[in-house]
Each structure stands twice: as structure tokens, then as C-alpha cells.
Amino acid sequence: MNSVTHSEIPVGKVVLFLIAGLLSFGAAPILVRFGTDVDPLVLAALRTLMAVAILLPFWFSRRKKLSELKTEGASPFLMISAGACLGLHFTFWIASLHYTSVASASVLVTIHPVMLIVAESLIFKRHFRPLVWVGVFIAFGGSMLLGIADESQQAGLYPNPLLGNMLAFSAAVIFVIYFMLGRKIRQHTEWIDYVFYIYLYAAIVCTVLSFIWVGGVPYVSFSALLVGLALAVGPTILGHGSMNYAVKYISPTLLSTLILSEAVLAAVAAYFIFNEVPATVSIIAMLIIISGVSLTWSRRFARAAK
């Protein structure tokens, strides 16, 4: 896998994309809550289809066929696999919010930093500073504490917390595979080519699953269309798009640890919008997450992973 030197990293663009991405990620669970009048698989399909439609004019003017990308080193098979993983990730994660709380779903879906730091170390032989390992596990510990506190506080208020938590955890595992594939593919593709094809394959997967699950043409309300559009513009294009841009230059582990901030942003937003009041333990957990993320990113991000 090709590496990018520090001098080649567009620091300003990366920072700007990451800030926009984190803010949009935090809004994702809130937006999904406004779309619970339709099947979760249908909402995932709407989200990805609208993202593809929005990106189409920007991609079309400078489009590259898969055969051209293959000659540049990007495997079409890996791109299809990454897109399928993203579609499954969206489907499982959105479905989890229909059965469990915002905080629990956000926490369990962000278990991926621990999986990624182990995978990068074993598979790609990437060496991380001890402080990065400490920060990852502190942030992950804070996420687990937040989930436990949320479950004890919100017990009985959600239809099937166990199923919702299992779906969120599955979404995290799939996200790890998707992010690792993305790291490899992005070394050989421009951002617009990568995100367009990835979202296209994700949309196909989500659409097929929604038709199979519903058993026909799914019902789509006007409010669901609005939520799907908001999810496409915000968490999909800005959120995942920013991470897909940055993953060419930054370790997936560092990026995924940064995404843990989503749980804090989502919990705070849920307090103001849905009156989901965090307990004292939850507030402590949020502070632990922030501390862990801060440790992981304590030095310049481009030098954090050797």
C-alpha cells in the first residue's frame, strides 16, 4: 500500500473536511429519529440513492470508467466490496435506532477504533505510539460506560434494546472492513471517483434489501424523503465523504477514534431535541471519550501513525 509523506498532505483541506464531517455525523442519529415512519431499510436506500443523485453532476464531467481506475491500481472488485459493506453498514445502523436509544446505538457503532488499531497493527504492520493505544482504549472505555449508563436510564423505553444493540455492533464490524478497503483503494483514486462508485454500490445493496424486506414497492412518506435528503447531504456526503477524503492521508484508526466524538455530539443533541437527559455517569463517560480522543490526537495527526 502506497504511503503519503507529510509534505504531500493538504492539511488545511483535511482539517476543514474533518470538522464538517464530525458535525454532520453528530446529526445523523437525530435525523434518523425523524424518519421512523418508514422501514429502516427504505430510509437507508433513500439516503444512498439521493447521495448518488447529488454527486452525479460533479462526477459526470470528469468521470472515469472502472476499467480506467483498474489501470491506475484501483480494483473494481474491492470497490464493489467496499460499497456493499457501506450499504450493509447503513442498513444495520439505521435499523438499530428503531429498537434502541440514540446513545446506545451511537456508542456500539463506534466500537471500530479498537478493531481497527489491532487490524492495522497485525495486517499492515503499522506501528502506533503508546499514547495512541492508550487514547483509543480510553475513548472506547468511555463509549462503553456511556452505553451502560444509557441502558440503565432508558430501560423499558425502547421496543427491543438487545436487537438494536446487536444491529449497531454488526454495523461497527462491517464499517471496519469498509474502512480498511477504503484506505487501500483511495491510494489509487480521486475522491469524487471513489465516493461516487462506493455510494452507487451501497445504494444498489440498500435498495435491493429494502425491496426484499418489504416484499414489494416500499411506502415512502414526504417526511422520509426530507430525512433521506438531509442524511444524503449531511452524514453521507459531508460525513462519510470527509472521512473518505482524509483516509488517503491519515490512518483509519485515528479517523475512527475521532468519530467517537459522534456519541458525545449525538447525546447532547438528543438532550435538546428529544429531552433524553444524560445521567451523571453519562456526562462522566462523555468527558472520558473526549480525553481519549485528545490523547490519540495529541500530536500532529500526520505524524501520529509512523
List, in order, residues 6 or more apart from 15 with CB less than 8 Å away: none
Instruction: Give me the sign of the Cα torsion angle 113, 114, 120, 121.
Output: positive
- In the chain, the largest separation of any two C-alpha atoms, in whole Å, equals 55
Nearest to 152 by CA among 290, 288, 32, 280: 280
Place of cell 462523555: 286
**Which triple of cell numbers denotes residue 88?**
450493509
Strands of the chain (E only): list them: none
pLDDT value of residue 151: 60
pLDDT for 300: 46
Q: What are the structural domain ranges in the chain?
A: 10-304
How far is residue 238's CA from residue 257's CA, in Å, rounded to a whole number?
18
201-236 burial: b if 16+ Cβ within 10 Å, else e: bbbbbbbebbeeeeeeebebeeebeebbbbbbbbbb
Q: State the cell numbers at 217.
A: 414497492
Residue 251 φ then ψ, to 5° = -55, 135
Task: Average pLDDT across each block of 10 residues of the chain; the chain has 306 residues. List them in order.
Answer: 55 84 80 78 91 94 86 90 93 81 72 82 81 85 74 63 84 90 90 94 93 82 90 90 87 80 75 74 81 74 43
Q: At what angle do helices 261-274 and 11-33 cross, to 10 degrees?
A: 40
State the Cα–Cα distance between residues 237 and 219, nearest whole angstrom.
25
Counts for the chain of helices (H) and strands (E), in that order: 15, 0
What is the rounded distance in angstroms from the CA atom of residue 306 to the CA atom of residue 303? Answer: 6
Query: Between vectors from CA 146 to CA 120 and to CA 140, what angle results, nearest 5°?
Result: 15
Residue 238 CB neighbour total at 10 angstroms = 19
Q: Which residues contact 252 (CB under 8 A, 6 or more apart)?
A: 116, 120, 179, 180, 182, 183
Triad 192, 198, 201: Cα angle to 5° = 135
Predicted confidence at residue 124, as pLDDT, reads: 75
Please say whether the dihedral angle defined by the alpha carbons of residues 209, 212, 217 and 221, taken in this order, is positive or negative: negative
Which of 134, 130, 84, 92 has its CA nearest to residue 114?
Answer: 134
3 state DSSP class of 297: coil
